[in-house]
Chains A and B, each alone.
Chain A
Amino acid sequence: MLLKMNHIEKSFAKTRVLNDISMHVEEGEFVALLGPSGSGKSTLFNLIGGMTSPDEGTILLNDNIIHGQKGLIGYMPQQPSLFPWRTVIENVVLVQELSGKPNYEEAKEWLKKVGLQDFQNAYPMELSGGMKQRVAFIRALLSKQNLLCLDEPFSALDEFTRIEMQKWLLSVWEDNRKSILFVTHSIEEALFLADRIYILTKRPATIKEEIIVPFARPREESLLNANEFFQLKQKLFNLLRDEIKVGE
């Protein structure tokens, strides 16, 4: 088991944000965290990323406690967060620079694999939103960490680009099979991408339900119109709707 969180609790001032969260990510597994806005998803990422430590409970990565240790996960934020003064390839190797020598050959190979070879010397301002997110994903991938944490990476994209990016992500991931923890507030996105989904309640967040997604891989876009996809989507929708109702 790659990542394991046991009975995590976290409060800020007097507000409890996370309440008894236990979850795990297996080696090579794609796990989605689905929850309403403001349910403490970013706090959870801050804990895994070592930006803060939990009040109670333990976070284990490869059986080691990682509280407050940064740089142990590959991270892809909601905003692409590319450095505007670095070219695409210089952005891709940024994380490698932090821990050692950057490997430009490997970066070039990856850019070629995702069809961005013509843009390796371009600056981020020249790229479209989807291209920027691809660069951000490759950067996370090349950080050489076994766990990739993706924080609503496609939420700022338009509908068509988002579906393209989801398919793209699946195709890259299916060849690569790194563990991914994917935060999203889109039910469809979670169902289309993940092996397993944790549904979070509103604040203070607990895990309301763990859903195993039964669809076989590789997944095609046609899955989005399949009957069983629709039924599961309806089920998740009802679960989440209860959460939002209670808050009113």
Chain B
Amino acid sequence: MKWVREKGGAIFLLLFILCSWELLVKVNEVPGWLLPAPIAVFSEAIKVIPSFSTDIFSTIQLALLGLTIGSLVGFIIAVLLHMMPFVQKMVYPLLILSQNIPIIVLAPLLIIWFGFGLMPKLIIIGLVCFFPIVVAALDGFKNTASELKYYMEMAGASKSQLFWKLELPHSLPSLFSGLKISATYSVMGAVISEWLGAKQGIGVFMTLSQSSFRTDRVFVAIFTIMLLSILIFGLLRMVERIVIKGKMER
């Protein structure tokens, strides 16, 4: 029952939006190619699921692979920048700039450079995913409780012991916040990368549906993307609960 109390509000709101949507479409007799009603979208979803599921799995694989690579790269960059504050001052503005590159423009370029293989797709997802991790990790490292740091130094900890025994575990909650943001981005990144040319995937399904004016299928794809993002998010939250012990005292 606790679950109902916590999530009840959100579910109620969602149902309310879906019902109003259904009602508006029905009352105004909006044609299906312009805006399909939710029930029509769901029944279409059930119809296409058998063939669509291979697309979904392909996108999940791509998103998870990209997320893994992106967050590893992000974490390594954060550690390096943390160890070299001087370099951090130089590189940090560039990292922010990297987030201002419009992916839609970059994507065709990547295809020219790397072809239609896995590489350009992973670069796109990685580019979207690494930044939240870098920011979160650097913040986490920097905000290490000063009295704990002082204690470790007095106790004679080396720089690497300070990092592995204190700064890293201390930054885990912050790191997971970044990871959760990246995770939700990763599905979107995977779909965008699939627009550029892939054999299968939600992105491919979306482009095909769009060009044949199957708006209901476009919505199926949109809802699937949302669902996947929430799933990965939830998965990470479970991992977070297992990994982070003894809660922070603030």
User: Contact between B156 and A98 (Cβ–Cβ < 8 Å)?
Assistant: yes
User: Contact between B169 and A81 (Cβ–Cβ < 8 Å)?
Assistant: no
Residue in A50, A51, A79 whose beta carbon sits within 8 Å of that of B147 in the complex: A79
- Please report the C-alpha to C-alpha distance between residue A70 and residue B151 in the assembled complex, in whole angstroms: 11
In chain A between 69 and 107, which residues have their CB closer than 8 angstroms to a CB of chain B? 70-73, 75, 77, 79, 81, 83-87, 94-95, 97-99
Task: Say yes or no: A94-B246 contact (C-beta < 8 A), given A49-B154, A77-B147, A81-B151.
Answer: no
Query: Please, which residues of chain B bring their CB within 8 A of the CB of A125?
Result: 246-247, 249
**B26 within 8 A of partner (CB):** no
- Please report the C-alpha to C-alpha distance between residue A143 and residue B153 in the assembled complex, in whole angstroms: 14
Query: Please, which residues of chain A bring their CB within 8 A of the CB of B150?
Result: 51, 77, 81
**B248 within 8 A of partner (CB):** yes
Task: Say yes or no: A51-B154 contact (C-beta < 8 A), given A83-B148, A124-B246, A125-B246.
Answer: yes
- Please report the C-alpha to C-alpha distance between residue A125 and residue B166 in the assembled complex, in whole angstroms: 17
User: Contact between A97 and B165 (Cβ–Cβ < 8 Å)?
Assistant: yes
State how many angstroms separate the Cβ of A155 from the closest Cβ of chain B: 14
Q: What mask results when residues 12 to 49 of chain A are scored 1 for a CB within 8 Å of chain B, else 0?
A: 00000000000000000000000000000000000001
Query: Please, which residues of chain B bring their CB within 8 A of the CB of A95?
Result: 155
- Please report the C-alpha to C-alpha distance between residue A85 and residue B248 in the assembled complex, in whole angstroms: 7
Residue in A70, A73, A123, A124 whose beta carbon sits within 8 Å of that of B153 in the complex: A70
Query: Please, which residues of chain B bring their CB within 8 A of the CB of A75?
Result: 151, 154-155
Q: What mask results when residues 137 to 178 of chain B are scored 1 for a CB within 8 Å of chain A, else 0?
A: 000000000011011011111100100011001101000000
Q: How large is the interface on B (under 10, 10 to 19, 20 to 34, 35 or more residues)?
A: 20 to 34
Query: Please, which residues of chain A bring their CB within 8 A of the CB of B156?
Result: 50, 70-72, 98-99
Query: Please, which residues of chain A bring their CB within 8 A of the CB of B154?
Result: 49-51, 70-71, 73, 75, 77
Query: Please, which residues of chain A bring their CB within 8 A of the CB of B248?
Result: 84
State how many angstroms separate the Cβ of B97 from the closest Cβ of chain A: 35
**B23 within 8 A of partner (CB):** no
Query: Please, which residues of chain A bring their CB within 8 A of the CB of B247?
Result: 84, 123, 125
**B244 within 8 A of partner (CB):** yes
User: Contact between A83 and B155 (Cβ–Cβ < 8 Å)?
Assistant: no
In chain B between 218 and 250, which residues have their CB closer than 8 angstroms to a CB of chain A? 244-249
Task: Say yes or no: A81-B148 contact (C-beta < 8 A), given A75-B155, A98-B161, A99-B156.
Answer: yes
Query: Please, which residues of chain B bring their CB within 8 A of the CB of A49?
Result: 153-154
- Please report the C-alpha to C-alpha distance between residue A213 and residue B166 in the assembled complex, in whole angstroms: 40
Q: What mask results when residues 118 to 147 of chain B are scored 1 for a CB within 8 Å of chain A, else 0?
A: 000000000000000000000000000001
Shortest Cβ distance from B157 into A: residue: A98
Query: Please, which residues of chain B bring their CB within 8 A of the CB of A72?
Result: 156
User: Contact between B246 and A86 (Cβ–Cβ < 8 Å)?
Assistant: yes
Query: Please, which residues of chain A bring their CB within 8 A of the CB of B244?
Result: 85
Query: Please, which residues of chain B bring their CB within 8 A of the CB of A87?
Result: 246
User: Contact between A77 and B151 (Cβ–Cβ < 8 Å)?
Assistant: yes
Query: Please, which residues of chain A bring their CB within 8 A of the CB of B147?
Result: 77, 79, 81
User: Contact between B165 and A94 (Cβ–Cβ < 8 Å)?
Assistant: yes
- Please report the C-alpha to C-alpha distance between residue A124 and residue B247 in the assembled complex, in whole angstroms: 9
Shortest Cβ distance from B173 into A: residue: A85
State how many angstroms separate the Cβ of B241 from the closest Cβ of chain A: 13
Query: Please, which residues of chain B bring their CB within 8 A of the CB of A81?
Result: 147-148, 150-151
- Please report the C-alpha to C-alpha distance between residue A124 and residue B134 in the assembled complex, in whole angstroms: 29
User: Contact between B169 and A83 (Cβ–Cβ < 8 Å)?
Assistant: yes
Shortest Cβ distance from A97 into B: residue: B165
Shortest Cβ distance from B151 into A: residue: A81
Query: Please, which residues of chain B bring their CB within 8 A of the CB of A83?
Result: 148, 165-166, 169
Shortest Cβ distance from A48 into B: residue: B154
User: Contact between A51 and B153 (Cβ–Cβ < 8 Å)?
Assistant: yes
10 nearest CB pairs, A to B: A71-B156, A123-B246, A81-B151, A70-B156, A49-B154, A75-B154, A85-B246, A79-B147, A85-B245, A84-B246
10 interchain pairs, CB-CB under 8 A: A51-B154, A70-B153, A71-B157, A75-B154, A77-B150, A77-B154, A83-B165, A84-B248, A86-B246, A124-B249
Known A50-B156, A98-B165; further 10 A-B contacts with Cβ < 8 A: A71-B154, A72-B156, A75-B154, A77-B150, A81-B147, A83-B169, A85-B246, A86-B246, A123-B247, A125-B246
